[in-house]
Amino acid sequence: MSYNLNVIVEKDDEGYYAYCPELEGCQTQGDTLDETMANIKEAIDLYLETLSEVEKKEIIRNEIYLTNYEVKVA
Q: What is the pLDDT of residues 14-36, one digit of tens each?
A: 999 999 998 999 999 999 999 99
CATH of the domain at 29: 3.30.160.250
Per cent of the chain over pLDDT 90 is 59
pTM of the model: 0.78
In a domain, 43, yes or no: yes
In a domain, 2, yes or no: no
List, edge to edge, every strand of the sheet that includes 8-12. Answer: 8-12, 15-19, 27-30
Domain count, the chain: 1
In a domain, 72, yes or no: no
In a domain, 3, yes or no: no
In a domain, 36, yes or no: yes
In a domain, 71, yes or no: no
Largest CA distance in the chain: 51
* DSSP symbols for 16-68: EEEE-TTSTT-EEEESSHHHHHHHHHHHHHHHHHTS-HHHHHHHHH-------
Q: Which domain holds residue 37?
A: 8-61
In a domain, 45, yes or no: yes
